[in-house]
Structures are given as structure tokens and as C-alpha cells.
Chains A and B, each alone.
Chain A
Amino acid sequence: AQKITQTQPGMFVQEKEAVTLDCTYDTSDPSYGLFWYKQPSSGEMIFLIYQGSYDQQNATEGRYSLNFQKARKSANLVISASQLGDSAMYFCAMRGDNYGQNFVFGPGTRLSVLP
């Protein structure tokens, strides 16, 4: 069975600094996708970034980058130059490549950006 672990229930970061949110996963699938989502207090889930298990390079999207270490089964999200608007819950998720598999979400990390 697939499982996502996010060991940081809450994180604080100073505005304009970088922060890393941890995510480890467990799967026996040879091919899978890893995703990060942001959920502000208003409730919507916003897709941030995707990493494929066979991608050679770490994914980047603007201020977001994914530190993917396949052998360690980790997919940490790095947010550079934090902004006050980055304060939110962040969820790591994965999906295997087989038909019929659904997303598995981690428990989330609450990030608070301090002015």
C-alpha cells in the first residue's frame, strides 16, 4: 500500500527566507507521480508542483522546487523567498501508475510566515 508521511505538523519561517517542507513516501510501484498542494485558510486546494519518479531533474515552478531523492523516498518542497501569502497548509501526495489507483495524501504541514 502507498503511504505519505509529513513529519512536521507546523513550521515557522521568517519572511524572505527559504523553507523546506518534508515528505517521505512508501510505494512498491516502479513508476509514480509526486505532487504538492497548498491549502490557504479559505479552503481551496491549489496544485503547486509535480515530480515524476523517472524524471532526472528536480521539478521547479517559480519559487517552488522539489528536492527529489528517489533512493531515500523523499520529495521535499522548498519555498524560496517566503511571502506572507505562503502561510497555509501544504499537502504532499502521490499516485501510482496503475489504472484505478487514486491519490494518497499526507497529513499536511501548516506553514506560518512571520513578518
Chain B
Amino acid sequence: DVKVTQSSRYLVKRTGEKVFLECVQDMDHENMFWYRQDPGLGLRLIYFSYDVKMKEKGDIPEGYSVSREKKERFSLILESASTNQTSMYLCASSLPDRGHQPQHFGDGTRLSIL
């Protein structure tokens, strides 16, 4: 079974802090994704990566950056956390097959910025 592991289920940080959310997958997937999920807004794509050291902006990249130094790890960075970044963050990975491969998700991180 595919395993996507996010470093924390719950995280509380203060405004202005630099926050790191870590995601590791164990299935040698090329593709990795970061989403945030907010009530009424659904899942929104922040950043994605199709290969090591490669990153692409999603729909809402402002205020975030990512790092993919190794194939299995995709980190989301909040450069200077703000209260409007309080949200549920979901990491996912998939094989690169066109259209047919599901994304496999981690358990999510509920991040609160105070």
C-alpha cells in the first residue's frame, strides 16, 4: 500500500514564524502535491512537483514555497506565517501516468496560526 506521511497532525505556530510542513512518500512516486482545504472552498492546489528539484505553482502559491531535494520528500514552507494561513494542509503523491493514476494523500496537518 502507498504510504504518504505528514510530519504533524496538529501544529500551532505564531504569526511571523517560518513554518515547515514535511511530507514523505514510500512508493517512489514522481509526482507530489500540496493542497490546503478550507470550509466552503474545497481543496486548492498550492504547489506541485513532477521530479526532484522541480516545482510548479498551483492555484494559490502566494505566501508559500516548497522544496524537493529528494524524490520521496516534499516540503511546504510558510515563509512568514499569517493568520489567514490557518487551514488543513494535505500532501499527495502519484505516479506520472496520464489521467489514470489516483493521488494518494497523507493524513493532513491542521495548522493554526495565532
A binds B: yes
Which residues of A are at the interface with B, using a C-beta cutoff of 8 A?
Answer: 31-33, 35, 37, 42-47, 50, 52-53, 91, 95-103, 105-108
| Contact indicator A43/B88 (Cβ below 8 Å) | yes
Which residues of B are at the interface with A, using a C-beta cutoff of 8 A?
Answer: 9, 33, 42-43, 45, 48, 56, 58, 88, 90, 92, 98-108, 110
| Contact indicator B99/A31 (Cβ below 8 Å) | yes
| Contact indicator B98/A97 (Cβ below 8 Å) | yes
Q: How far is the CA of A28 from the CA of B33 in the complex (A)?
A: 24
Q: If the complex has contacts A99-B98, A105-B43, A108-B42, are A42 and B103 also in contact, measured as CB distance less than 8 A? A: no
Give every chain B residue within 8 A of A33 (Cβ-Cβ): 99-101
Give every chain A residue within 8 A of B108 (Cβ-Cβ): 43-45
Give every chain A residue within 8 A of B107 (Cβ-Cβ): 42-44
Q: List 16 A-B contacts (CB under 8 A).
A: A35-B102, A42-B107, A43-B107, A44-B107, A45-B108, A46-B105, A47-B104, A50-B100, A52-B99, A53-B99, A91-B42, A97-B98, A99-B98, A100-B56, A103-B45, A106-B42
A27 to chain B, nearest CB (A): 11
Q: How far is the CA of A98 from the CA of B96 in the complex (A)?
A: 11
Give the contacting residue for A102; candidates B48, B102, B105, B106; CB below 8 A.
B48
Q: How far is the CA of A96 from the CA of B100 in the complex (A)?
A: 9
B26 to chain A, nearest CB (A): 16
Q: If the complex has contacts A44-B107, A97-B99, are A91 and B88 also in contact, measured as CB distance less than 8 A? A: no
